[in-house]
Chain A
Amino acid sequence: MVTLRVNGQTHELDVDPQMPLLWAIRENLKLTGTKFGCGVAQCGACTVHLDGNPIRSCVTPVAAAAGRNVTTIEGIGSDNGLHPVQEAWIAEQVPQCGYCQSGQVMAAVALLASNAVPDDDAIDAAMKGNICRCGMYGRIRSAIKRAANPQLAEAVETFDPAAATEEMRHG
């Protein structure tokens, strides 16, 4: 039996202690937001937090996480909604296929926790372990900066038809 604490909840799992944490999260706990991408810590799709630090769950034995705090993409939002990083991701319209994005968001949340206003070099260093085959790196960079400093973020030109139609009605 392995005791896992994930997103604040404790689970007793009857699994091989050497099994990577990724599969315990996905198959045993059915938290499928964390993704399998390479199995060898090369792509970052499986990134979760272990005691707040970003780790590659595809190469971390479940035993190494026992008794520690694991946080997944499902666990970062507040009770009221999304984490500011997730809100910035929507504002910048970051995801395309979306498959790598849980890992990207987890890496970005960890970065901002340790460096509130990261510069480009810090973003490169923290994010280069996460591959996005849709190539949305520019948007990820913008979203991290927006999350770090929302009031300085340049407005993204996204049309809101609801607001526009209101204007038409009353104007």
Chain B
Amino acid sequence: MGKWTRRAFISAGVVAGGALLVGVSIRPGKRHQGMAGLVAEDGETLVNAYVKIDVDNHVTAIIPHSEMGQGAQTALTQMLADELDAEWSSVSFMEAPAEDDYANWALGKGYLAGDADVPESLVPSLDGAFMAIASAMHMQITGGSLSVRTTGVTGMRVAGAAAREMLVTAAAEAWGVPPSEITTRNSHLIHEASGRDATYAEFAAAAGEMTPPRSPALKTPDQFRLMGKSVARRDIPSKVDGTAAFGIDADVPGMKYAAIIGAPVFGAEVASVDAAAAEAMAGVDRIVTLDNAVAVVADGYWRASQALSKVKVQWTSTPNDGLDSDAIFAQFDRDLDAARAGGESTADVEQGDVAGAFSGADQIVEATYRVPWLAHTCMEPMNATARVEDGTCEIWVGSQNPLGYRYEIAAALEMEVENVVLHQHFMGGGFGRRATPDTAIQAARIAREIGAPVKLIWSREEDVRHDLYRPAVMSKFRAALDPNGAVTGWENVYHEKHEPVEAPTIPYAVAAQHIHHTASPTHVPFGAWRSVDHSQHGFFTESFIDEVAVAAGRDPYEYRRELLADDPRRLAVLDMAAEKAGWGERLGPNQGRGIAIQSSFGSIVAQVVDVTVTDGKLSVDRIVCVADCGFAVSPNGLTAQMESGANYGLTAALYGNIEIEQGAVKQSNFHDYEAVRMDVSPRVETYILNSGEAWGGAGEPGTPGIAPALANAVFQATGLRIRELPFKLHDLRSPVETDEVELTG
């Protein structure tokens, strides 16, 4: 290894054979054995490398994020290759192993502990949300729309720039010329005056002997060659010819197959099992009882699932056995009213004279909104393949949090984490669901019990009924208006407080605000669902501001504009959405157009939804989406995320409705938990606004604005204000005659 110090943030070295490794590291020391095989055949230890330059001048980016279709692996590779001035055709990437050395928190941990010299350019990035995440342990999570804006900005770019700078320095020394005279291009070092031209590989060894620069110069956007360009995603070819390996495709010699059923009521456990009929069926190997589930192991999945249907399970009773959705929503209603009446609540925002605003109001607007639980329904049902033998556990799975899985599996099996090996696969959808290792732990327990490898596959019914759900939430609003229709006071109380903490806040200039939350716990497990708390608060706040605008007799877009007068960045996004959508155009009969803007995960997205409601039948005709993520690393990738986020939000708005009946989830499969399909999916037009502000996320910000923009459009088309999702619950036959509507503005 080359020289590097305990306090180095950037580290570099040469491994056997002469390959250069550059990483962003905070600590030296013996690396985990699992990493040694990655780059050093002779077992040399290494740092948490992000880039490797081989002797044949091939560049490998090592990516600590998993791929679920969001394109992060290609985008992160672009960021590294651009700073490195690497030849794109000879750049490849590999996913980092699930080791502590690649945990995202490591990027910030040294900074937190004052243990590393962080490059100047990164100091502004290591703030707020990122530090909160960095302070959590064992996270190698792909979520929170974080890949590009944290690992990319603080890891890949820095590693690429540092490697480039070291190569230049090494060449300058060898050639006896000033580093400033050396240019880099296509993985080559060039000194034009003398006509010298060398590959990176020629100087890799020399560069690896150097002390890495503390603050390598990052490119400015005008110098980007790859960032900002829509390069073809590297994972796509394998996804059109059937060769992409998802977790469910794992093939372990000698493996058996398991089907499972969990306790219908959350919190219940297995009381007794009558498996006689199942055990007698052909191909059935074993019945395995876990605490709260029963699995059948057989020589094929179909036989396992057939036999499972013959197993008679008695579940323990719980206090929630008689609960249904209505009773839970009634509880929310009571708890919110109690909080409003002076009971316990915690303020998110408390500013100005709220009481005065309401007592002096010319008009008060009030509304209550509610959203149901939502399942993720990833296309690939939950599954994991496990082998437990000789005190070790191997898991084949697609995970948003491979390192966290290892730790939790180790804890569940009472094993050392070093003895848990995870083989990461593509994920057939994640959306937050694959950050939780419940299925993998079940597979590991079954494998341990039967003493053979086992592939556990959840049925779709199991997936719908044993998800970790976007919570059902109720939110109550009051707004005070002055005689001019200006909003002077804003009061909002809700329950279910998770992340991001700013989700319920509003961007609008309202002097007096009280936004607060209280607790109203349920027995339904919580899970992060694409955009997390923004998924409900976007609907609440962007519907309510629309209602306020209508009460003020104003155009909803113009009304928002005035309240954003001091926020040019949001205003630009809102204006562009209105312009692209043709806001103010005359619409046909039964048509409506709604707008919404939501900032989340560091990005601002405004959406305009067009609808036609004919005899109560809702058609979503078009979605216009404007996204300001600061800078779009891959415009086509960002566009794809906006299209995806919009359809994910639309599915939830139109259909998504998990109901609780007798304590259990009522829905079971795509016939009663529907998804938007080809014939319903509207045209989605995406426009990118590169504001140059701090880079934001892409995976989630396209989701929260769809439901409110849709509700606002339906209101305009029908006069019906939908305050409870999903839309399928409502009769949209218009109570009032609608004629051609003309929007102002």
Binding site for B on A (CB under 8 A): 15-16, 19-20, 23, 27-28, 30-40, 42-43, 45, 72-74, 77, 82, 86, 89-90, 93-102, 105, 123-125, 127-141, 156-162, 164-165, 168-169
Hey, which chain A residues are within 8 Å of B679, CB to CB?
124-125, 127-128
Q: How far is the CA of A98 from the CA of B648 in the complex (A)?
A: 15
The answer, among A32, A93, A99, for a CB contact under 8 Å with B232, is A93
Give complex CA distance A127, B677 in Å: 8
Could you list 4 further interchain pairs (A-B, Cβ under 8 angstroms) beyond the known A98-B238, A134-B429? Answer: A23-B301, A42-B669, A102-B242, A165-B186
Closest to A96 in B: B69
30 A–B contacts from the bound complex (CB under 8 Å): A32-B245, A36-B248, A36-B301, A39-B459, A39-B669, A40-B670, A40-B671, A42-B670, A72-B242, A86-B241, A93-B233, A96-B68, A97-B430, A98-B240, A98-B244, A99-B429, A124-B678, A128-B678, A132-B379, A133-B378, A135-B646, A135-B650, A135-B651, A136-B640, A138-B684, A157-B230, A157-B635, A158-B636, A159-B229, A165-B87
- Nearest chain-B residue to A169 (Cβ)? B186
What A residues does B242 contact at CB under 8 A?
31-34, 72-74, 102
Contacts of B429 in A (CB 8 A): 97, 99, 133-134
Given A23-B300, A45-B379, A157-B230, A134:B69 Cβ within 8 A: yes
Which of A95, A102, A123, A162 is B678 in contact with, Cβ under 8 Å?
Answer: A123
Contact A97 to B88, CB < 8 A, known contacts A73-B242, A105-B240, A161-B231: no
Q: How far is the CA of A160 from the CA of B89 in the complex (A)?
A: 9
Residues from chain A with a CB closer than 8 A to the CB of B683 are 138
CA of A27 to CA of B380 in the docked complex: distance in angstroms?
A: 16
Which residues of B have CB within 8 Å of A30? 251
Bound complex: CA A109 to CA B117 (Å): 56
- The smallest beta-carbon distance between B56 and chain A, in angstroms, is 17
Of B88, B244, B257, B305, the contact of A161 (CB 8 Å cutoff): B88
Looking at the assembled complex, report how far the CB atom of A54 sits from the nearest CB atom of chain B, in whole angstroms: 14
Partner of A86, one of B233, B240, B460, B647: B240
Query: Which residues does chain A contribute within 8 Å of B426, judged by CB atoms?
Result: 97-98
B379 A159 Cβ-Cβ under 8 A: no
Tell which of A100, A129, A160, A161 has the most Cβ of chain B within 10 Å.
Answer: A161
Q: Is the CB of A135 within 8 A of B237?
A: no
* A89–B648 touching, CB < 8 Å: no
**Which chain A residue shows the least CB distance to B257?**
A27
| CA A130 to CA B240, docked complex, whole Å | 15
**Docked complex Cα distance between A132 and B302 (Å):** 24
Please determine whether B240 and A40 come into contact, CB atoms closer than 8 angstroms.
Answer: no
- A14 and B647 CA atoms in complex are apart in Å by 43
Assess whether B230 is in contact with A159, with CB atoms less than 8 Å apart: yes
Shortest Cβ distance from B648 into A: residue: A135
Cβ–Cβ contact A35 & B251, under 8 A: no
Q: Kindly count the residue-residue contacts between A and B in the assembled complex, taking CB atoms under 8 Å apart.
A: 211
Interface residues of B in 288-336 (CB under 8 A from A): 300-303, 305
Pair A95/B232 contact, Cβ less than 8 Å: no
- Please name all residues of chain A whose beta carbon is closer than 8 Å to the beta carbon of B678 when the two chains form the complex: 123-124, 127-128, 130, 137, 140-141
Q: What residue in chain B is nearest A121 (Cβ atoms)?
A: B679
Q: How far apart sit A129 and B429, CA to CA, in the bound complex (Å)?
A: 19
- B724 contact set on A, CB distance < 8 A: none
| Chain A residues in 8 Å Cβ range of B87 | 165
Q: Closest residue to B70 on the A side, CB-wise? A: A96
Are the CB atoms of B647 and A35 closer together than 8 Å?
no
User: Is B740 an interface position by the 8 A CB rule?
Assistant: no
With A136-B644, A137-B678 known to touch, is A95 a contact of B240 (CB < 8 Å)?
yes
How long is the Cα–Cα vector from A78 to B270 in the complex, in angstroms? 52
Contact A136 B243 (CB under 8 A): no
Establish whether residues A131 and B240, one from each chain, have CB atoms under 8 Å apart when the complex forms: no
> Which chain A positions have C-beta within 8 A of B690?
none
The answer to whether B69 and A98 touch across the interface, beta carbons within 8 angstroms, is yes
A164 to B431, CA, bound (A): 35
Neighbouring B residues of A139 by C-beta, 8 Å: 640, 643
Contacts of B680 in A (CB 8 A): 128
Chain A residues contacting B303 (CB-CB under 8 Å) are: 16, 19
Query: B647 to A135, Cβ gap below 8 A?
Result: yes
Chain A residues contacting B186 (CB-CB under 8 Å) are 165, 169
Residue pair B647, A137 in contact (C-beta under 8 Å): yes
A80 to chain B, nearest CB (A): 13
Asked if A96 meets B381 with Cβ closer than 8 Å, knowing A137-B678, A158-B636, the reply is: no
B66-107: contact bitstring with A at CB < 8 Å (1 yes, 0 no)? 001111000000000000000111000000000000000000
Residue pair B380, A35 in contact (C-beta under 8 Å): yes
Number of interface residues of B (CB under 8 A): 75
B671 touches A42 (CB 8 A): yes
Interface hub of A101, A102, A165 (most chain B Cβ within 10 A)? A101
Contact of B381 among A37, A131, A138, A158 (CB under 8 A): A37
Residues of A within 8 A of B232 (CB): 90, 93, 158, 160
Within 8 A of A (CB), among B669-700: 669-671, 675-681, 683-684
At the interface, yes or no: B246 with Cβ under 8 Å from chain A? yes
**CA distance in complex: A139, B647 (Å):** 12
Contacting pair B301 A73 (CB below 8 A): no
B428: interface (CB < 8 Å): yes
Please indicate the chain A residues that have their CB under 8 angstroms from the CB of B636 in the complex: 93, 156-158
Residue B185 lies at the interface, judged by CB distance under 8 Å to chain A: yes
Say whether A99 contacts B241, CB under 8 Å: no
A20 and B303 alpha carbons, distance in the complex (Å):
10
Chain A residues within an 8 Å CB radius of B676: 135, 137
Residues of A within 8 A of B61 (CB): none
Identify the interface centre among B69, B381, B648, B684: most chain A CB within 10 Å of its CB. B69
Minimum C-beta distance from B452 to chain A (A): 16
Point out the residues of chain A lying under 8 angstroms from B244, CB to CB. Answer: 98
Whether B69 lies near A158 (C-beta < 8 A) is no
Identify the 8 closest CB pairs spanning chains A and B, nearest first.
A33-B242, A135-B647, A99-B428, A96-B69, A98-B239, A97-B69, A73-B242, A161-B88
**B457 → chain A, closest Cβ, in Å?**
7
- B282 beta carbon closer than 8 Å to chain A: yes
Let me know if B300 and A19 touch, CB within 8 A.
Answer: yes
Known: A30-B251, A133-B429, A133-B675. A161 touches B226 (CB 8 A): yes
A65 to B225, CA, bound (A): 53
Contact with A along B641-675 (1 / 0, CB 8 A): 00111111011000000000000000001110001
Q: Is B302 in contact with A20, judged by CB distance below 8 angstroms? A: yes
The CA-CA distance from A164 to B225 in the complex, in Å, is 9
Residue of A nearest to B90 (CB): A162
Residue in chain B with minimal CB distance to A45: B379
Residues of the A chain whose Cβ atoms lie less than 8 Å from the Cβ of B430: 97
Report the Cα distance A161→B84, complex, angstroms.
14
Q: When the two chains form their complex, are residues A96 and B644 in contact, meaning their CB atoms are under 8 A apart?
A: yes
The interface residues of chain A lying within 8 Å CB-to-CB of B669 are: 38-40, 42
Query: What's the Cα separation between A136 and B301 when bound, in Å?
Result: 30
Min CB distance A91 to B, Å, is 9
A-side contacts of B651, CB under 8 Å: 133, 135
Q: Within 8 Å CB of A130, what residues of B?
A: 677-678
A130 and B379 CA atoms in complex are apart in Å by 11
With A35-B248, A157-B636, A161-B226 given, is the CB distance from A27 to B300 under 8 Å? yes
B621 at interface (Cβ–Cβ under 8 A)? no
CB distance from A137 to the nearest CB of B (A): 4
B447 located at the interface, meaning its Cβ lies under 8 Å from any Cβ of chain A in the complex: no
Judging by beta carbons under 8 Å apart, are B257 and A97 in contact? no
CB-contact partner of B239 in A42, A101, A124, under 8 A? A101
Smallest CB separation, A165 vs chain B (Å): 5
Q: Is the CB of B640 within 8 A of A93?
A: yes
How many whole Å from B732's CB to the nearest CB in chain A? 21
Give the distance in Å from the alpha carbon of A34 to the alpha carbon of B648 in the complex: 24
- Of residues 421 to 469 in B, which have CB atoms within 8 Å of A's CB atoms? 426-431, 457, 459-460
B235 within 8 A of A: yes
Tell me whether B249 is interfacial, beta carbon within 8 Å: yes
Cα distance, A13 to B651, chains bound together (Å) = 41
Q: Is B412 an interface residue (CB 8 A)?
A: no
User: CB of B57 within 8 A of chain A?
Assistant: no
Measured in the bound complex, the distance between the Cα atoms of B237 and A105 in whole Å is 13
